[in-house]
Amino acid sequence: MAVKLKFILLIIAAVGSGTAMDTHRTPRQNGPALIFTAGNGEQCLGSDRSTGGVCLSRNQCNTQGGKAIGFCGVFATCCSLNACDVRTNTKVAVFINPPLNRESSGLECSYNVEINNNNVCQMRIDFETFNLAPPTTVEAVENVTSRPGYSCRNDIFQVTNLQANSDILPPLCGDNNGQHMYVRVNASTNSRSIRINFKIADRNTQPNLPQATWKIKVTQLECFNTLGKYRDGFLEAITSSLPSTPLSSSADRDEYLIAPPGCLQYYPDRTGAFESFNYNRGAGPYIANLAYATCFKKTPDVCGIKLTAASFEMAFRDDTNMYLDTDCQTNPVVQGSSQSEDYLFIPEAETADGLRGSKYCGSSASDQIIASTPPGPLYVHFHSDNLVTTDINESGYRFNYNVLNNCYLRTNTFP
């Protein structure tokens, strides 16, 4: 009996020997202890070691219209959900576009994602591949310089919160590889699912449109349990390094990715890069009628963030100004023709050469290093209007960022 008990304890220890970040590995990467999984909804790789899917039982895979592409356990299969009209409630789901050609284009492809359990408070949608027709505007008319902004008129990606319908999420199109977005859900308010919808234009009537392809990952994130609420300072460093065990909650493992309220995008890493939707390697254009916040993790040792512009080109309304603050937004009481109000709001910002401002448009942030040191959360807010002017570039922006732990010495803020 003692030998059997020791063997059982060794198995439990082996299962719990990974770190808190193991939840982001594939089942094969997690080691032999998970070989007997019956389908845990985690990411996996197909037999070709390049195509991604989710680990499900064969019955789950068939029910959700998926296709078995490999092995992820004795009782489970790596399932590729490349069909339309899929309904799932797995912890992680990966959706891949069905085979598309001239004959099959002009379709709508929808995925319903229902919350996995009542602790789920957010869903993070990662665009591992996202290539749709770009946003367009109307053709220019002679002697008319202003036209409606660039909108998704052909291919359209849209997320709706089915029951609550409380979040207004922007329609997207174009090139958004590597981008992501967050959607709130709340079981207590009957917000228990989201619908992801692709509307693809007919390539027979518009043969010049690029081929639509996508591979998106939806991760259901659970809010903190009691232990998670007290993770702060050195306690966070200690508890986050504890091994993940069968008794630890998903909320503990998800804590790192939970976004602050009101953030469409969230970057928890201390360094990285972010860009406007349909930045398209600097070719743009960005999409009209957007207003959203991109947020960054502010741990107790962080006081600000440094932004280094790799590219910045937005609309402006007067080429004689500095493209800063009031130059980027028209006062409502001012009468006259429509003027551009595209800008990137960076709170409590200062450039390396001492220029202070919060709203940046035109090329004001181009080739700049900007420090933002707000007393509250770290974020930037993008706003685009429904106006495009001939010969004014709206390619968008891309920044590299790193958080700051000393905002009082300029030599540290701007190394």
151: in domain = yes
The count of C-alpha atoms lying within 13 angstroms of the C-alpha of 212, restricted to the half-sphere facing its C-beta, is 30
128/217 Cα distance (integer angstroms): 7
Strands 388-389 and 304-313: unpaired
282 in the same domain as 187: no
Cβ atoms 307, 364 nearer than 8 A:
no
**29 compared with 306, residue with greater pLDDT:** 306
Q: Which pTM value belongs to this model?
A: 0.80
Token pair listed for 328: 């980027």
398 in the same domain as 299: yes
284 in the same domain as 219: no
To the nearest 5 percent, what fractions of the chain are helix, strand and coil?
Answer: 15, 35, 50
271/403 Cα distance (integer angstroms): 7
175 in the same domain as 116: yes
303 in the same domain as 190: no
304: in domain = yes
With CA atoms as reference, report the closest residue to 353 among 413, 275, 398: 413
pLDDT (tens digit per residue) in 173-197: 999 999 999 999 988 887 889 999 9
253: in domain = no
pLDDT (tens digit per residue) in 225-254: 544 444 444 444 444 444 444 444 566 779
Question: What is the percent of the chain with per-residue pLDDT over 90, rounded to a whole number?
Answer: 48
218: in domain = yes
Q: What CATH number is associated with residue 197? A: 2.60.120.290
With CA atoms as reference, report the closest residue to 59 among 28, 90, 26: 90
283/195 Cα distance (integer angstroms): 30
Domain range for residue 387? 259-415
Strands 120-131 and 92-96: unpaired
329 in the same domain as 378: yes
Number of domains in the chain: 2
Q: In the prediction, which pLDDT does 414 show?
A: 56
27/45 Cα distance (integer angstroms): 9
Q: Can you spell out the DSSP letters for 109-168?
A: EEEEEE-SSTTEEEEEEEEEEEE-PPPB-PPPBTTB-EEPPPB--SSEEEEEETTT----
36 class by beta-carbon count within 10 Å (0-12 exposed, 13-18 middle, 19+ buried): exposed
Which residue, 175, 203, 223, sits at the end of a domain?
223
173 in the same domain as 97: yes
pLDDT (tens digit per residue) in 59-85: 878 777 678 888 887 778 888 777 788
Q: Report residue 378: phi and psi, to 5°.
A: -95, 125
User: Where does the pLDDT of residue 38 fall: very low under 50, low under 70, confident under 90, or very high at 90 and above?
Assistant: low
137 in the same domain as 265: no
214 in the same domain as 137: yes
118: in domain = yes
280 in the same domain as 205: no
DSSP annotation of 247: T
82/98 Cα distance (integer angstroms): 5
pLDDT (tens digit per residue) in 116-172: 999 999 999 999 999 999 999 988 777 677 889 999 999 999 998 866 655 678 899
Token pair listed for 221: 């994130």
316: in domain = yes
237: in domain = no
Q: What is the mean pLDDT of residues 343-363?
A: 94
368 in the same domain as 307: yes
272 in the same domain as 409: yes
- Mean pLDDT (the chain, rounded): 81
Which residue, 223, 245, 267, sits at the end of a domain?
223
Q: In the prediction, which pLDDT does 4 show?
A: 46
Strands 193-199 and 52-56: unpaired
133: in domain = yes
